[in-house]
Amino acid sequence: MAGIKIKAVNQVKFEQRLKSQGTSINRNIVNAVNAIANAIRNDAVISINQNPRAGKTTTRYNPTRTIKISKEGDAPAGDTGSLASQIYVKIDSGGFGASIISNAKYSEALEFGTIKMGARPFMQPSAEQNRKKYKARVIKAIKTGLK
């Protein structure tokens, strides 16, 4: 019967370092999740408030104002600021996940469209825009924790 014998040299020191690295990696990942979730939120808000491609203008009442209407497929054009102000980040209890939530009643209709109106997505494009940054940031968090 063949066998391998492994002897840990400085096992206590090794276990302490491993525990320390695990704590560092966890902290780094939590920071990365928090930063990217806030970046997604901020990009969604910016896409609403600074939509340069908004199309035709129309008049709205109560209060009376002239606004630009966004084109189908573009982020909604900001009007009263209500939509943008109701987007927030909720970090999961362990810190390893997050939700970006829009509490405006009409968020879903804008994001996915309705029978009468085409979609004006603002959340999904923001998430897609940050997908590669998220992966890179988590990989960096792990590598930094292992040093």
Q: Where are the domains of the chain?
A: 11-146
Q: Are strands 87-91 and 98-102 parallel, antiparallel or unpaired?
A: antiparallel
Instruction: For residue 75, give the nearest of 136, 145, 16, 129 by alpha carbon.
Output: 129
- What pLDDT score was predicted for residue 101? 92
Q: Is the pTM value of this prediction over 0.75?
A: yes
pLDDT per residue over 102-136, tens digit each? 999 999 999 999 999 999 999 999 999 998 888 88
- Where b means 16+ CB within 10 Å and e means fewer, 108-117 reads eebbeeeeee
pLDDT per residue over 107-116, tens digit each? 999 999 999 9
**Separation between Cα atoms, residue 97 and residue 32, nearest integer Å:** 10
Cis peptide bond prior to 63, omega within 30° of 0: yes
